[in-house]
Amino acid sequence: MPDILAENLSGKAVMGSDGTELGMLYNITMNLKTGALEDLLVSPNEEYPVGDSRFDLDEQGRVHVPVSHVQAVKDYIVIER
């Protein structure tokens, strides 16, 4: 995947590879020692499958999607599901 500036990701919708709209990108976490991106924090929408335990949820109900699951970034951020 080519390099993409984080500012270009702000406000992007997140979609599963199966076409399910999961929510909107809230933030990105990174390892401060290495600078490596770790997780996308996604604010889930109403269509997000509540029983989907593939990804962790934080206290605010945001979904933590490991960056390794990102397949494409275009109009949407597409993640492997």
| Confidence category of residue 13, pLDDT binned at 50, 70, 90 | very high
The 10s digit of each residue's pLDDT in 29-38 is: 988 998 888 9
**Residues facing residue 21 across a β-bridge:** 15
pLDDT(11) > 90:
no
The 10s digit of each residue's pLDDT in 48-76 is: 766 666 888 889 989 999 999 999 988 89
CATH class in words for 6-79? mainly beta
Question: Taking the model in full, what pTM does it have?
Answer: 0.81
Mean pLDDT of 24-47: 90
- Domain extent listing, the chain: 6-79
**Mean pLDDT in the chain?**
84
